[in-house]
Amino acid sequence: MESVKVFEDAAATLEEKCSNLILSNKDIKRVSTILLKEIEIGLCKETNKIADIKCYPTYVRNLPNGKEKGKFLALDLGGTNFRVLLIQLGEATPEKEFASREFPLPDLIRNSSGEVLFDHIAECLALFVKEFKVDKEILPLGFTFSFPCRQEGLTKAKLVQWTKGFTCSGVVGHDVADLLQKAIHKRDDVNIKIMAVLNDTTGTLMSSAYKQPDCKIGLIIGTGTNACYVEKVENMELWDGESDNSNQCIVNTEWGAFGDSGSLEFIRTNFDRALDSTTPNCGKQLYEKMISGKYLGEIVRRVLVYLAKEGLIFNNSSYVRLLEADTFKTKLLSEIEEKPENDLSDCKRILEELGITNFSQEDCAKVRYVCQLVSKRAAFMVAAGVATLINKINEKHTVVAVDGTLYRKHPHFRHLMAQKIKQLIRPGLTFELMLSEDGSGRGAALVAAVADRMDREETNRN
């Protein structure tokens, strides 16, 4: 990346101090080369055990064929909130969202026990179906559970480890569909049948592939990051499901764990290492921790505090609140970078809200510069990942379905990513980034609908 001079004198030192956050094209290509190798290690049965990128096969294979009918629920759990969605499918209504609700998931619940977590979710589900007066119906549900899981079937997914700050006890190693179904049964006031568990990347891919058959990658850039893609069964030694005519399956890469054995040390900085050491999953999800919404704000905060201690920013200011972890949220990067370069009004407002006193216009410009560096690095890291998958799929045109708050809200993320992907893919290949808003939820409902139709067809045959 070219280094543009934005400040005079002292700022030259500031740029130097931040230079390790800048990735060269050579670095990015190296990330892509290593990632491809690691995906191949993950796909291979013999080496999968030692792989960072686990490449879990999913059991989602069939797309809706238009014969699905009825009301379907989706539950989307994986970030700071969880969502419940009710969609209706039928002849006249190919897909109609009926209702949806977002429920906050307080820290207290995210760090409690599995029982507390699933009881709480079951309670919110019950409130939802009662509010929309569908509590007397038997509702098939697609459960988007966005954490690394080893799937043993469409309705069986064992949690391998928590990510994104969740630590609920008694869930790792257990089937999350079973835990949720038990919590629902325990209440005995609603009739919900879990038909499928899937990752948010899979849901995103499915809901877009439904409309766009060239869609081969599902990507999330939100609280966490991950991608799934369509792989040929012949390249997928781990596949133990049935083979049908398509001979393809969706692989949930769980690429957030890229770097966990050290392969990203050549670009990780002391800011990344210090942040990692404070997380409950220290040493894990290192790629994710350089990219996703749970972490970018905290990286910026750490850089700013470091620069302030070096006397390069906030020289006449008090910045006590900035010393506290997590005070600089990732959404602030989006807000600060939104306006044109010469308009620092939002940055000024945000610094005031953070209780920073007596800062200068130049301080605002420096804060913005740090935000831009951290966002750009994240966008380029994701671009390396997406380009690797596009090259691996190697089809003339690949559509990438993308969802996640960071991607949706950041003013430049999409452009930065697209520009870099273009440079990294093989000549002759083309791609398109397609926003799949709320795709993970809708995808889960669609997958549940297909599973429900197939169950009915099976019953009719017997």
Question: Which residues have a catalytic role annotated?
Answer: 83, 146, 200
* 260 is an interface residue for ligand BGC by CB under 6 A: no
* 256 is an interface residue for ligand BGC by CB under 6 A: yes
| Closer CB to ligand BGC, 364 or 401, in the complex | 401
Structure tokens at 196: 């499928």
* 140 is an interface residue for ligand BGC by CB under 6 A: no
E strand intervals along 32-89: 56-57, 70-77, 81-89
Residues present in the chain in total: 462
* 254 is an interface residue for ligand BGC by CB under 6 A: yes
Among residues 11, 27, 2, the alpha carbon closest in space to that of 369 is found at 11
* 151 is an interface residue for ligand BGC by CB under 6 A: no
| Closer CB to ligand BGC, 90 or 280, in the complex | 280
As a whole number of angstroms, the distance between CA 347 and CA 332 comes to 9
Which element (helix H / strand E) includes 431? strand 430-435
Looking at 147, 258, 359, 369, which residue binds ligand BGC (CB under 6 A)?
A: 147
The residue type at 141 = L
Looking at 142, 222, 293, 385, which residue binds ligand BGC (CB under 6 A)?
A: 222
E strand intervals along 209-268: 215-221, 225-232, 248-252
Whole-number minimum distance, CB 2 to ligand BGC, in Å?
A: 31
Across the chain, how many H-helices and E-strands are there?
15, 13
Under rule CB under 6 A, how many of the chain's residues touch ligand BGC?
17
Whole-number minimum distance, CB 110 to ligand BGC, in Å?
A: 13
Whole-number minimum distance, CB 163 to ligand BGC, in Å?
A: 3
Among residues 125, 88, 118, 74, the alpha carbon closest in space to that of 103 is found at 125
* 226 is an interface residue for ligand BGC by CB under 6 A: yes
Which element (helix H / strand E) includes 394? none
Query: Contact 387/421 with Cβ under 8 angstroms?
Result: yes
| Closer CB to ligand BGC, 219 or 308, in the complex | 219
Phi, psi of 250, deg, nearest 5: -90, 130
* Span of 68-76, 124-132, 145-153, 355-363 interacting with ligand BGC by CB under 6 A: 145-153
As a whole number of angstroms, the distance between CA 410 and CA 426 comes to 27
| Closer CB to ligand BGC, 30 or 150, in the complex | 150
Looking at 200, 272, 337, 403, which residue binds ligand BGC (CB under 6 A)?
A: 200
Whole-number minimum distance, CB 79 to ligand BGC, in Å?
A: 7
Looking at 201, 281, 334, 405, which residue binds ligand BGC (CB under 6 A)?
A: 201
Q: One symbol per residue from 269 to 298: x for binding ligand BGC (CB under 6 A), - otherwise; what is it?
A: -------------------x----------
Looking at 32, 58, 88, 146, which residue binds ligand BGC (CB under 6 A)?
A: 146
Structure tokens at 304: 């700013």
Give how far Cα 117 sits from Cα of 94, 120, 280, 401, Å. Answer: 34, 5, 18, 29
Interface residues toward ligand BGC, by CB under 6 A: 78, 146-148, 163-164, 199-201, 220, 222, 224-226, 254, 256, 288
